[in-house]
Amino acid sequence: MRELKNLDWNNIGFQYRPCDKRYVAEYKDGAWGEGYLSDDPEVRINECAGILQYCQECFEGLKAYETANGEIVCFRPDLNAERMADSAEFLCMPPFPKERFLEALKETVTANLGFVPPYGSGASLYVRPYMFASGPVIGVKPSHEYIFRMIVMPVGPYFKGGAKPVALMVSDFDRAAPHGTGHIKAGLNYAMSMHAHEIAAHAGYAENLFLDPAERKYVEETGGANFYFISADGKTLVTPKSSSILPSITRRSILYVAEHMLGLKVEERKVELAELSDFSECGLCGTAAVISPVGEIDDHGRKIVFGKGMAEPGPVTTKLYDTLTGIQLGTIPAPEGWIFKVA
């Protein structure tokens, strides 16, 4: 039996909280050094480090859960390892080897077992792997030194008391440039989105809907989650296809669940803003909330309402949410290879 930390598991919220151990590995002289667990939540780097000057950084986000039968597991972390390597390569950083990513995950979560929220609390252990240029640069070029860290923190369910529909607004800003960095998970994309997010938040919206930056005609994603839509007859799930959105692991899993477990037709294609009113349901997908139902979208005063709007999530959304979280918590059998046992 693991010894749980004395925390108020039902009221954890979504915030930084230092745990006992974090995994650290350093890249120097052309190679990744041996990783180790550290007690130190502080990072000391040179004042001219590449991350501070030119924002050379990428990250990941995943969760560890306690399942119904008491195992500690992660959901498809091999895909996080792969995506992080892709992000790193695009930013001219040495990828952290995928097998080592999975070993680091096991080590870090195991070293913080007391922080993994108990089954049934709705909370989970959020895992944030990230790497950044630590070596000094002043001329614009990739650094010679990097630090990979994996930190963890317990977080509460994104929505207390079940998934409630959110309202979005169509942004006048773009999240990523055409042929830019929209497809990688980098902090720089989030720095870009904060101005637009503040505007949406002040106007009372949960998130922005970003349009494709080239034509401003197609739906891309929000600042941190992909979209799916359900056709009027409830039989088809559609997700936007674009080279400037982040390939969400939750969205890829939803496509599989919809097609192979719920018997829906699935389509990955360009989705026009103008056709949104044809859909009966809309949802956001990402690790943090798994699925957030979207009740309505404000397009400059024109309201697009899905199903019962802000009153309650639609039936397909509810089924998708229940199936996906059931797989994660071990109450519904998972497709081969989706569940990674940590302890």
Ligand X SMILES: *Cc1c(COP(=O)(O)O)cnc(C)c1O
Binding positions for ligand X, rule: CB under 6 A: 61, 185, 221, 224-226, 246, 248-250, 285-287
For the bound state, the minimum distance from the C-beta of residue 262 to ligand X, rounded and expressed in Å, comes to 18
Contacts (Cβ under 8 Å, ≥6 apart) of 162? none
Q: Single out the residue of 227, 218, 275, 232 nearest to residue 255, CA to CA.
A: 227
Alpha carbon of 212 to those of 174, 176, 222, 243, 282: distances in Å?
7, 9, 11, 10, 18
| Residue 21 appears among annotated catalytic residues | no
For the bound state, the minimum distance from the C-beta of residue 222 to ligand X, rounded and expressed in Å, comes to 7
Helix, strand or coil, per DSSP, at residue 331: coil
Within 10 angstroms of residue 293's Cβ, the number of other Cβ atoms is 25
Retrieve residue 333's tokens: 């059998």
Q: How far is CA 9 from the centre of its chain?
A: 22
For the bound state, the minimum distance from the C-beta of residue 313 to ligand X, rounded and expressed in Å, comes to 18
Point out the catalytic residue in the list 21, 185, 270, 319.
185
For the bound state, the minimum distance from the C-beta of residue 109 to ligand X, rounded and expressed in Å, comes to 17
CA distance 75 to 45: 32
- CB nearer to ligand X: give 125 or 137: 125
- CB nearer to ligand X: give 81 or 225: 225
Within 10 angstroms of residue 146's Cβ, the number of other Cβ atoms is 25
Burial group, residue 303, by CB count within 10 angstroms (0-12, 13-18, 19+): exposed
- CB nearer to ligand X: give 49 or 246: 246
For the bound state, the minimum distance from the C-beta of residue 299 to ligand X, rounded and expressed in Å, comes to 21
- CB nearer to ligand X: give 56 or 250: 250
CA distance 314 to 67: 27
**229 and 236 Cβ atoms separated by less than 8 Å:** no
For the bound state, the minimum distance from the C-beta of residue 107 to ligand X, rounded and expressed in Å, comes to 22
Contacts (Cβ under 8 Å, ≥6 apart) of 176? 182, 183, 189, 192, 210, 213, 220, 244
- CB nearer to ligand X: give 264 or 290: 290
- CB nearer to ligand X: give 104 or 285: 285
The one-character DSSP state at 115 is G
Residues annotated catalytic, as ranges: 185
